[in-house]
Amino acid sequence: MVGAILLWGSSTTAGKLVLDTVSVPEIVAFRILGGAVVLWTGGLLLRQKFRLSSPVPIIMGILEPGLVTFFIVLGLYYTSAVNAAVVWGIMPLTQPILARLFLKEPIKPVIVVGAVLAIGGTALLFYAKHQAGTGNLLGDFYLVVGVLCACANQMLARRMATTHRAPIVTTAYQLLSASVLALIFLFSVTAPAEAYQDIDGFHYGLLWYLVLCTAGPFFLYNFALQYMSVGHVSLFAPLSGPIGVLLAAIVFNEPADWVIVSAIVLAMVGAFIPTMAAVWTGRRA
């Protein structure tokens, strides 16, 4: 999950940079279709059996990365890269509850403690960014819609991870269905001959990095859900905030004061509390 979050957190800054030259539909289609090609190629090289025994991966792909990528990139058009990273912090609040309702997973006290800290860090970051005047309510709304689609997808992903245990195959079909949705969206607003025109090497490099930030995290994410509960996995989402803050400070020269630093610490502690508690319990045993 740490590897997945590192890629996801950095993708918001890369996406913000690419928006200077490339349109939202072009970014969405390129990163999703590229991710699908990478995963299908990898799966074939590893001789995976691509048998679709359930329509769930298709639905997962429509939700995430299909709708999620669209709303996140659209939100980036209006608001800051930091806000895009931080908004994922609502997942520790929603996911344990949804997992209890739909998957019958228990809500452990240590997950509740971690969620409180992670959400506290998220609230601090939102406060700091809106006080600085770098937030935008419309942009934040699009981001929240995107994250809610991701919340629904996580329920389906956990079910697939525990019953099928084939993360490469699941992720490949997930990105395949998302690719169809992304291409329909792209060519409904852009003529094929006009797509991806006047893009320099630097921005193409960023687009390919976004492909890596799509294929890599989704595979790692589906793999992790085989062994971790939804509530535990969701605690890692706020870590994209600290990564976004650091990269935004470097790339966009956005300030990082003591409030933001405190928020980073809270989010990190909240994400790692369950793991630290498990290690401590194991040592005592």
Tokens of 56: 């769930």
Kindly report the number of other CB atoms within 10 A of residue 275's CB atom: 16
Note down the domain range covering 42: 2-284
- Tell me the C-alpha to C-alpha distance, in Å, between residue 140 and each of 6, 10, 71, 147, 165: 21, 18, 10, 11, 35
pTM value is 0.71
Count of domains for the chain: 1
Reading the chain (285 residues) residue by residue, the pLDDT tens digits are 777 777 877 887 888 888 888 988 999 899 999 999 998 998 898 888 888 878 899 999 999 888 988 898 788 788 776 666 667 666 766 777 778 888 787 777 777 777 777 677 767 766 766 666 666 778 888 988 998 898 898 888 888 877 777 788 888 999 999 999 999 989 998 888 888 888 899 999 999 999 998 888 778 877 777 777 776 776 676 666 667 767 777 777 766 667 767 776 776 676 667 666 665 665 544
Kindly report the number of other CB atoms within 10 A of residue 268's CB atom: 17
Q: Which residues, in sequence order, are CB contacts of 13 under 8 Å at separation 6+?
A: 81, 244, 247, 248, 251, 252
